[in-house]
Amino acid sequence: MTSTQVPVTQAEYVALAQFRYGLRRFLRFSEAAARAHGLTPQQHQLLLAIKGFPGRQWATVNELAERLQLQQHSVVGIVDRSEHASLVFRVSHAEDLRVTEVHLTPDGERILESLTVTHREELKRTGEFIQTFLRLQSAIEDNDLAPVKEGGENHIVVEPWEFAGL
């Protein structure tokens, strides 16, 4: 730690740990939901990345690699397996034949819609968790979280039930 670096407070550790816990709970839920629908978590992410791509209903392998934070060759493998499972199909771009568009099939659309409905309630719970986290983070940034001492007035208390139910 340099002399100008502000020490990390216990509240910051709590906030980061709770944030990662909430993210992991949501990801675990999502992975289990994908498997329950007969998909791998990566296939679910692929379908969602295609359907949710801004401005159009398809994406290129390079765009999907960025969205999924994977190497291009890994995405090609996921697309291959998803195409074999009739979840996606590929077509050459009309103007640039070097570009391959990846689209959802009707089966891919149907499964993704069902998965998205399944995620609604979990997203609501996660949203409530994130709001609690943001309040805590804001207090940290505003320096309202001085190290808590007995009788200290300038602190925020994070009650365990604020993160319960995740």
**DSSP calls for 86-104:** TSEEEEE-SS-TT-EEEEE
Q: In the prediction, which pLDDT does 125 show? A: 80
> What are the extents of the domains in the chain?
10-162
Q: Are strands 58-60 and 100-104 parallel, antiparallel or unpaired?
A: antiparallel
Give residue 147's pLDDT: 43
pLDDT at 94: 86
Burial (Cβ within 10 Å: 0-12, 13-18, ≥19) of residue 128: middle
Q: Does domain 10-162 have CATH number 1.10.10.10?
A: yes
Q: Is-contact 79 102, C-beta < 8 A? A: yes
Task: Say what the pTM is.
Answer: 0.76
User: 57 CB contacts (<8 Å, ≥6 apart)?
Assistant: 50, 51, 103, 104
Reading the chain (166 residues) residue by residue, the pLDDT tens digits are 555 788 888 877 887 888 888 889 899 999 999 999 999 999 999 999 999 999 999 999 999 999 999 999 999 999 999 999 999 999 998 888 888 999 999 999 999 999 999 998 888 888 777 777 777 777 777 766 544 333 444 444 444 444 444 3
Q: What are phi and psi of 65, to 5 degrees?
A: -60, -45
Distance CA(51)–CA(32), nearest Å, equals 20
* Cα-Cα end-to-end distance for the chain: 34
Q: What is the pLDDT of residue 1?
A: 56
pLDDT of 3 reads 59
Residue written as token pair 């999502």:
30
The C-alpha R_g of the chain, in whole angstroms, comes to 21
Whole-angstrom distance, CA of residue 42 vs CA of residue 84: 15
Q: Which of 90, 89, 81 is nearest to 106 (CA)?
A: 89
Q: What is the pLDDT at residue 145?
A: 53
Contacts of 79 (CB under 8 A, 6+ apart): 46, 61, 64, 88, 90, 102
Question: Given this model, what pLDDT does residue 162 score?
Answer: 47
> At 59, which helix (H) or strand (E)?
strand 58-60
